[in-house]
Structure 1
Amino acid sequence: MPPEPDRSPWAVFLIFLRLGLTSFGGPVAHLGYFRHEFVARRRWLSERSYADLVALCQFLPGPASSQVGMALGLSRAGYGGALAAWAGFTLPSAALLILFALGLGSQGQLLPAGALHGLKVVAVAVVAQALWGMGRSLCPDVPRITFMAAAACAALLLPGVWVQVGIIGVAALAGMALLRPAPAAPEQAMPTAITRRAGSAWLALFFALLIGLPLLAAAVPSQPLALLDAFYRAGALVFGGGHVVLPLLQAEVVPPGWVGHDSFLAGYGAAQAVPGPLFTFAAFLGAAMTTAPSGWAGGLLCLAAIFLPSFLLVAGALPFWERLRQHAPAQAALAGVNAAVVGLLLAALYDPVWTAAIHTPKDFALALIALVALMAWKLPPWGVVLATGVAGWLLG
Structure 2
Amino acid sequence: MIGRVRYYIFLRDILMLAVTTFGGPQAHLAHFQKVLVDKRKYLTEDDLMEINSLCQILPGPTSTQTLTAIGFKIGGPTLAYLTLLVWILPAVILMTLAAMLMSSIEEKNWSLEFTRFIQPMAVGFVSYGAFVIIQKTVRTKTGIVLMVTAAILSYLIQTPYVFPVILLCSGLLTALKYKNQPKEEKVKIVVPWANFLLWAGVLIFAAALGGITRALPVRLFENFYRNGSLIFGGGQVLTPLLYTEFVQYAPKQYLTSGEFLSGYAIAQSLPGPVFSFSSYIGALSMREYGTGGEILGALVSAFGIFLPGTFLIFFVIRFWESLKRYRAVRASLEGITAASAGLVAASAVILFQPLENTIINFSVTIATFLLLLFTKIPSPLIILGGLLLGFVVRWATER
Q: 1:373 aligns with which of 341, 347, 371?
A: 371
2:262 paired residue among 259, 266, 290: 266
The equivalent residue for 1:383 is 381
Find the partner of 1:237 among 230, 238, 245: 230
Question: Relative to structure 1, is the Cα distance of residues 118 and 180 closer, same or farther in structure 2, using a 3 angstrom cutoff?
Answer: farther
Q: 1:8-157 maps to which residues of 2 (within 5 A)?
A: 8=7, 10-108=8-106, 113-157=112-156
- Bigger mean CA offset, 127-136 vs 202-211: 202-211
Measured in 2, the distance between the counterparts of 1:175 and 1:310 equals 23
Aligned residues: 384
The corresponding residue for 1:192 is: none
> In structure 1, the residue corresponding to 2:269 is in which secondary structure?
coil
CA distance in 2, matches of 1:42, 1:283: 31
Q: Residue 317 of structure 2: SS of its match in structure 1?
A: helix
Q: Which runs of 5+ in 1 are unaligned?
A: 187-194
The answer on whether the counterparts of 1:288 and 1:294 sit within 8 Å (CA) in structure 2 is: no
- 1:251 aligns to 2:251 (yes or no): no
Which stretch of the first structure deviates more once superposed, 73-82 or 141-150? 73-82
Secondary structure at 1:52's aligned position in 2?
helix
**2:161 is paired with a residue of what secondary structure?**
helix
Cα deviation per residue 1:12-49 (whole Å; 9 max; x = unaligned)? Answer: 33211111110011111111111111111111111111
CA shift, 1:128, in A, is: 1.3
Cα gap change, 1:130 to 1:324, in 2 (>3 Å): same
* Structure 1 Cα separation of the partners of residues 390 and 183 of structure 2: 47
TM-superposition CA deviations, 1:253-274 (whole Å, max 9, x none): 2231322332111111111111
In structure 1, what is the Cα distance between the partners aligned to 2:152 and 2:342? 8
Matches within 5 A, 1:277-292: 277-289=273-285, 290-292=287-289
Separation in 1, partners of 2:178, 2:148:
16
Q: Does 1:201 align with 2:191?
A: no
User: Structure 2: how far apart are the matches of 1:276 and 1:319?
Assistant: 26
- The whole-number CA distance in structure 2 between the counterparts of 1:206 and 1:178 is 29
For residue 214 of structure 1, what is the aligned residue in structure 2? Answer: 207
8 Å contact from structure 2 (residues 178, 330) kept in 1: no
Question: Once the two structures are superposed, what CA deviation does each residue of 1:377-396 show, in whole Å capped at 9, x if it has no partner?
Answer: 12111111111222233345
Rounded Cα–Cα distance in structure 2 between residues aligned with 1:218 and 1:30: 38
Q: CA deviation at 1:230?
A: 0.5
Which deviates the most, 35-44 or 107-116?
A: 107-116
Note the C-alpha offset of 1:291.
4.2
Report the secondary structure of 1:257's partner residue. coil
1:354 deviates by: 1.4
8 A Cα contact 1:18 1:88, kept in partner = no
* Unpaired segments ≥5 residues, structure 2: 395-399
- Normalised to the residue count of structure 2, the TM-score between the two structures is 0.90
Indicate the residue corresponding to 1:334 in structure 2.
333
The alpha-carbon deviation at position 112 of structure 1 amounts to: 5.2
Deviation, structure 1 residue 240: 0.5
- Distance of aligned partners of 1:177 and 1:358 in 2 relative to their CA distance in 1, 3 Å threshold: farther
Q: Which secondary structure state, in structure 2, belongs to the residue aligned with residue 300 of structure 1?
A: helix
User: Contact 1:12–1:81 at 8 Å: present in 2 too?
Assistant: no
% identity of equivalent residues: 28
- Aligned counterparts of 1:101 and 1:109: Cα–Cα separation in 2: 12
Instruction: Output the amino acid matched with 2:384.
Output: L
TM-score w.r.t. the length of structure 1 is 0.91
Contact between 1:97 and 1:283, CA under 8 Å: does it hold in 2? yes
- Partner residue of 2:397? none
Q: CA, structure 1 residues 30+374, in 2 after alignment: closer, same or farther (shift >3 Å)?
A: same
Alpha-carbon RMSD: 2.2
Question: Does the alignment pair 1:171 with 2:170?
Answer: yes
Contact 2:184 2:326 in 1 (8 A): no
Query: Which residue pairs with 2:294 in the alignment?
Result: 295
